[in-house]
Structure 1
Amino acid sequence: MLSRLDNFSRSRPGRLVALLNRWAHREWHWIVAIAWLIICAVYLQRFGSAMHYMALGDTDDNMRYLQVRDWLNGQSWWDLTQHRMNPPQGANIHWSRLVDLPIAGLMLFFRFFVSDVRADQLALGVAPLLPLLPLMLSLAFLARRLASGGHAWFIAMLLPLGAEMGLSMFMPMRVDHHGWQLTLTSVALAGLVDRKWVRGGVVAGVASAASVAIGMEMLVYLAGAGALVALRWIFKDGAERRMRPYALSLGGTTAIGYAAFASNANRLPMCDALSPVWTSILTLAAGVLFALTLLPVRGWPQRFAAAAVGGAIVLGFAWISWPQCLTGAYQLSPELQNKWLIYIREAKPIYVQAHTTWVPVMAIPAAGMLCALAGCWAVRRDIERLWAWGTVALMIAFSIGLCFWQIRAGPAAQLLAIAPLACALWAFIVWLFAGPGIWRRLVAIPGLALLGSAASAYPLYPKAVGYWRTTVANWIDDEEEEEEESREASRRLTATSAALPPRRVATASSTQRKGSATTSASVSAASNAAQSKPKPSPAGSASGRCRSQPALAALDELPPATIFTMVDLGPRLIAITHHRAIAGPYHRNEKAILDVHHAMDGAPENFRAIAAAHGATYLLVCPGFPEGTIYQQRSPKGFYARMMRDETFPFLSPVKLNFPTVLPFQLYRITPMDAGKGASQAGK
């Protein structure tokens, strides 16, 4: 084998391969950029119809689009209130303007060439793909840092295509901020393991602070990154070369983020955004980290003691200054948690999800964690590489642990696990084609199969489950039925054998076997018939049509009005039409959310009073809408459940709209009621 490889390397094709290998190592970042452009072209073509119909599927995507559009139409940079939701007060949105910048820039750029509507469609398609490039670059960088050579980075840049939950945050029309936060977390991890300590510290600090300026969702990961920087300083002489630039960039970028992007509402001490609360905590933490690097301490015990004192100072400041934030960032009342939050699927832990959800989600993180542990063992004698592998392993373990709190940690767990998984895949490929010894090839084949299955869990697992249900499970059931029938036949023959002559026994046994086979065939046929029976269409199909642009655009033939509808339909309604809504799924607007729930759960008179208090003149309901099923199950005698049973109420009049087909939703005009009287009754 070695002689054949040596002969190949001396041949003309071998020299060409060596030349390409050197070029790929030198220009790897350009290869990543080219791959990103190809991926963008494929997804933009695939999502062309969604872009045309403004198919913003998530409530946050619709609200982000509104936020950018309102700013371009003249709303203040510092005003993030959505004035067409919960009028006249408006809805308090806790986001920042940082993610609005690329979306707005693309809108303005495309308006030079196409209409404003088409420019918005193109911008909403392109904007989510922008953070995919730095994500691919950071994952490739991590793989290059962990591996001792080779091209694991090439696998790492492509593996996000298999991390469906993580990749979904970068798809066209997914303009919410989660894609940027996932990218910045990956960039921060790349900075932690960078061999160039100053550059790595700056990158990690800037990425961490920028992520916090966008939102607080990734704060726990970034706190873990800061702890790893401090831990490295404790046990490694000279590690202040990374911690000092990290502290300066973290504190400086946090201050800039607050000054430039915090809204008027976030100038107050809020716990769920970059406000005076987290600005003061993070800048103090950065100052403590910087001060630690200036102390004349030697040896890890002294550094550990100094770090413990510094950590106590930061925690003590947070405890004394902002005690209200210690109970939770979102500050939700028990009623809002019980009526609203507990029904949000992404806020539930992984262990309450169906296996069809958690197995594909956890396949890549679990495989990546095992690969990271194996990598730590393989490089255990190289302290620098062990630190890099250990850092990645700890971040993966941390993200997997967070999945047992909320499944929304799944995308980060998938993406952080990619680099060690790519390194293991590349190692197995090398073993398979150039490994010294047959045993390595024998190990490489099942290793590639297992890791490849983990990386392809999203398409493979449903097929495996379907095969099990349609083939293996049926075969097992048939075997069990035949065994049971055989045992029953044996019991009958034993009971009658004393009274029957031997020839009759044999005949009865033969007849029984025929009967058993006939019965088994009948059961199998009935089972197959039951399985082939068509299933009813899922109720969610109507839900998707209610959100569609053509259906909602029909509402614009009515003059602008306040439409009472479900919480999760509010952002989409105001994004597509010129109407106003009562509430959206944004926790700072607790009263509006609870008003909708109280109206749907309560008596019809209570609904009318709440609608009057909000100035609503129309009611829009969507049969089969997921939120509506909650009202029906929770309050079967409530207003919404009664409407779904086709009960009529004198204060509701059906409204007909000009639409070529049957509209998926039902629209009613609400008979006016005195607003003061409505507010009085709604408060009872």
Structure 2
Amino acid sequence: MAKRIGGFDLERELDRHWLRWTLLAWGVIAGWYLWDRWGSVQSLALGDTDDNMRLMQVRGLLAGQGWYDLRQYRLSPPGGLDIHWSRLVDLPIAALILIFKPFVGTALAERLACGIAPLLPLSVTMAALGATVRRLVAPTSWPIAVIVLLGCSAALLMFMPLRIDHHGWQLAMLSVTVAGLTDPRRARGGITVGLSSAASLAIGLELLPYCAMAGAIVTLRWVWDGSEVRRLQGYALSLAGGSTAGFVLFASNANYAMRCDALTPVWLSVTVAAGVLLFALSWLNPASRGMRLAGAAVAGAAIAGGFAALFPHCLSRPEGVSDELAEMWLNNVREARPIYMHSFRLGFPLAVLPVIGVIGAGVAAWRAKNAGEFVGWVAIGLFTAFAGMMLLWQVRAGGAAQLLSVPGSVALVWIVVPWFLERSSMAVRVLGAVAAFLLVSGLFAGFVVKYVKVDKPQSNRAAVYRANARCASASGMSLLDRTLPPSALFTHVDLGPRLIVMTHHKGIAGPYHRNERAILDVHHAFTGKPEAFRGIARRYGAQYLLVCPNMAETTVYRARSPDGFYGQLSKGKVPDWLTPVKLPKNAPYRLWRIEYGR
């Protein structure tokens, strides 16, 4: 590529004004995604239960619900369901609604906010990754990071319009953490890592292992090089202070209990204790590397030992659910399964880029020109390898693993592609460079899964997908609004959040682990004996029974109890205390009024 085009110095422009061009690129990308998905935005096609619940949380806030009250009162009536999230991610969505509402009305304002809000953390991610590769690869390498990021299918999915849940912001904070780890200005880098980790924890605990890994890397840098003391001090103070501020500002009333699944007093005490101990170590700053290592080991042991002694109930799974709920529901959540339990089509693209990222970080560290570059690449390599291994625990780590792999991939592109471009043969220059880029960027994985068929076809998959889509559609939900006055509908767990977003009705449960009783009640009602159903439904004041035949959740009912209540309904065996409600012939639901008698 020419460095100068006419009077325009491209290399100088990409270097000096990189942030301006990054944000311009983000604007173009964001505009494309909004245009491409405008039909879904207009129909408010929130595809995930968490996205639907996030919108209900924002609606509650704008309607006057308390800042620290995160209960959802239109599920599990009359008391409502406890949602363990924080208000932090609600803020940009609520702000966008308030900005658009005077001009387009509430309904369209909500749709615009849900379309735009997920793209905001993408801008942060692009800028943070750009800063990282500029420091470690080359000042003009940031466009390659943007291109590689666009190929990160799992990560990019979290920034798509309507994906308003918190995962996009957590990935943005992770990218800021990486930028902080590679910042040559030590105090600023430490503060960046501490604050981004604190913000991530205030949002949710999904990336807690990555926050811990980032803290370990900062500490090990200080152990190896005592001159890194300013980075450690900045990290310690900002982690403790940022976590405290996050708890005070965003922890719900329910999160003041000693729970293990959010930033509660449990994890706040851990981050504050870690910050205090690490700051004390940095203040002492022993001259000997061995003494620094011993001090770090003692601090780590004190934190781990204190956690085990004070919060033994958090040593098992943080959700704190019963064995019954885990077996019946939580263990069956697809994203909570390891990568080897998923199809080749899903697993291969997730696994490829972390391998490339680790290799790239290793090669770049070997070629590093100075100690700062070397240490930065070692930190990224460790982080990427850790994220890759997390895939063996849960496939939901895929987005983070891909994101952390971007710098290593960019390093390989910067090394390999120019080699081909310098060959004398035109064929080698063009075809070799393109093939090399597709290989080291991981983009080839998309072509592999598209044309290589190794997964066994599932005969019922198409029917399940069709039922999931039709029952959650805006047209289907509007049918329920027109057919019934505001009522409490006993329906599936996964349909509950969508029901309350799109209709004036109440539901029973949503897929949130703190609401164990409601989830178990729904499963017991559908898998138990028909005569037991009415007693469960009566507790929630349910007036109607709504089912979505062939929805994914219903396959669980039938598998667990073929002759249970839902199994019999699916065979046409309907008790006489269920009165059918007439729906159009093509309706995706079956609906009955529940007759309790006297």
TM-score (normalised: structure 2): 0.95
Deviations 1:198-228 (A, max 9, x none): 1111111110000000000000000000000
| TM-superposed deviation, 1:444 | 5.6
Partner residue, 2:573:
647
Deviations 1:144-189 (A, max 9, x none): 1221x36321110232211111111000100000000011011111
Partner residue, 1:544:
469
Give the gaps of 5 or more residues in structure 1: 470-530, 675-684
Q: 1:432 aligns with which of 412, 417, 420?
A: 420
1:111/1:456 CA distance change after superposition, 3 Å: farther
Partner residue, 1:363:
352
Where 2:164 maps in the other structure, the secondary structure is coil
Where 1:253 maps in the other structure, the secondary structure is helix
| TM-superposed deviation, 1:320 | 2.2
Structure 1 residues 597-612: aligned runs within 5 Å: 597-612=523-538
Deviations 1:346-385 (A, max 9, x none): 0100011111110122122222222122222222x63221
| TM-superposed deviation, 1:436 | 10
Q: 2:62 aligns with which of 49, 72, 93?
A: 72
Partner residue, 2:276:
287
Contact 1:137 1:157 (8 Å CA) reproduced? no
| TM-superposed deviation, 1:340 | 0.4
| TM-superposed deviation, 1:422 | 1.4
Contact 1:369 1:417 (8 Å CA) reproduced? yes
Cα distance in structure 2, aligned partners of 1:633 and 1:316: 43
Structure 1 residues 42-57: aligned runs within 5 Å: 42-57=32-47
1:176/1:449 CA distance change after superposition, 3 Å: closer
Partner residue, 1:115:
105
Give the residue type in structure 2 aligned to 1:667.
Answer: L
1:122/1:15 CA distance change after superposition, 3 Å: closer
Partner residue, 1:670:
594
Partner residue, 1:91:
81
| TM-superposed deviation, 1:579 | 0.9
Contact 1:425 1:448 (8 Å CA) reproduced? yes
Cα distance in structure 2, aligned partners of 1:250 and 1:654: 58
Give the residue type in structure 2 aligned to 1:405.
Answer: W
Contact 2:50 2:165 (8 Å CA) reproduced? yes
Where 1:593 maps in the other structure, the secondary structure is helix
Partner residue, 1:159:
148
1:427/1:437 CA distance change after superposition, 3 Å: farther
C-alpha RMSD over aligned residues = 2.3
Partner residue, 1:206:
195
1:293/1:673 CA distance change after superposition, 3 Å: farther
Structure 1 residues 618-629: aligned runs within 5 Å: 618-629=544-555
Give the residue type in structure 2 aligned to 1:540.
Answer: Y
Partner residue, 2:388:
400
Give the residue type in structure 2 aligned to 1:570.
Answer: G
Deviations 1:27-75 (A, max 9, x none): 1111100000001110111111111111001000000000000110111
- Structure with greater Cα Rg: 1
Cα distance in structure 2, aligned partners of 1:228 and 1:31: 31
| TM-superposed deviation, 1:450 | 2.1
Cα distance in structure 1, aligned partners of 2:273 and 2:346: 41
Contact 2:33 2:161 (8 Å CA) reproduced? yes
Partner residue, 2:250:
261
1:583/1:294 CA distance change after superposition, 3 Å: same
| TM-superposed deviation, 1:536 | 9.5
1:559/1:640 CA distance change after superposition, 3 Å: same
Cα distance in structure 2, aligned partners of 1:316 and 1:302: 21
Cα distance in structure 2, aligned partners of 1:170 and 1:405: 23
Cα distance in structure 2, aligned partners of 1:402 and 1:51: 33
Give the residue type in structure 2 aligned to 1:339.
Answer: M
Give the residue type in structure 1 aligned to 2:403.
Answer: L
Cα distance in structure 2, aligned partners of 1:626 and 1:49: 25
Contact 2:133 2:139 (8 Å CA) reproduced? no
Give the residue type in structure 2 aligned to 1:185.
Answer: L
Deviations 1:110-148 (A, max 9, x none): 01211111101100100000000010011111111221x
1:549/1:443 CA distance change after superposition, 3 Å: closer
Give the residue type in structure 2 aligned to 1:250.
Answer: L
Cα distance in structure 1, aligned partners of 2:289 and 2:228: 12
Partner residue, 1:418:
406
| TM-superposed deviation, 1:433 | 2.4
Cα distance in structure 2, aligned partners of 1:436 and 1:138: 37
Deviations 1:532-590 (A, max 9, x none): xx999533212211001121122223222111111100110111111111110000000
Partner residue, 2:91:
101
Most deviating of 31-40 and 639-648: 639-648
Q: 1:27 aligns with which of 17, 30, 34?
A: 17
| TM-superposed deviation, 1:649 | 1.3
Partner residue, 2:265:
276
Residues 1:234 and 2:223 are matched in the alignment = yes
Give the paired residue count: 594
Partner residue, 1:488:
none
Q: 1:176 aligns with which of 162, 165, 169?
A: 165
Cα distance in structure 2, aligned partners of 1:133 and 1:535: 39
Partner residue, 2:564:
638
Give the residue type in structure 1 aligned to 2:587.
Answer: L
Residues 1:194 and 2:183 are matched in the alignment = yes
Most deviating of 535-544 and 629-638: 535-544
| TM-superposed deviation, 1:296 | 4.8
Deviations 1:77-102 (A, max 9, x none): 11000011111121010000000000
Give the gaps of 5 or more residues in structure 2: none
Residues 1:448 and 2:437 are matched in the alignment = yes
Q: 1:386 aligns with which of 374, 379, 382?
A: 374
1:539/1:653 CA distance change after superposition, 3 Å: same
Cα distance in structure 2, aligned partners of 1:22 and 1:537: 52
| TM-superposed deviation, 1:319 | 1.9
Contact 2:348 2:449 (8 Å CA) reproduced? no
Structure 1 residues 204-603: aligned runs within 5 Å: 204-379=193-368, 382-434=370-422, 447-452=436-441, 454-458=442-446, 460-466=447-453, 537-557=462-482, 558-603=484-529
Cα distance in structure 2, aligned partners of 1:539 and 1:182: 30
Contact 1:617 1:672 (8 Å CA) reproduced? no
Cα distance in structure 1, aligned partners of 2:506 and 2:550: 23
Where 1:239 maps in the other structure, the secondary structure is helix
Partner residue, 1:124:
114
Cα distance in structure 1, aligned partners of 2:75 and 2:470: 22
Cα distance in structure 1, aligned partners of 2:349 and 2:379: 25
1:437/1:546 CA distance change after superposition, 3 Å: closer
Give the residue type in structure 1 aligned to 2:591.
Answer: L
Contact 1:655 1:668 (8 Å CA) reproduced? yes
Cα distance in structure 2, aligned partners of 1:383 and 1:199: 18
Contact 2:26 2:122 (8 Å CA) reproduced? yes
Cα distance in structure 2, aligned partners of 1:223 and 1:62: 30
Contact 1:151 1:426 (8 Å CA) reproduced? no
Where 1:581 maps in the other structure, the secondary structure is coil
Contact 1:609 1:673 (8 Å CA) reproduced? no
Give the residue type in structure 2 aligned to 1:199.
Answer: R
Percent sequence identity is: 44
| TM-superposed deviation, 1:434 | 3.7
Where 1:70 maps in the other structure, the secondary structure is helix
Where 1:450 maps in the other structure, the secondary structure is helix
Give the residue type in structure 2 aligned to 1:208.
Answer: S
TM-score (normalised: structure 1): 0.83
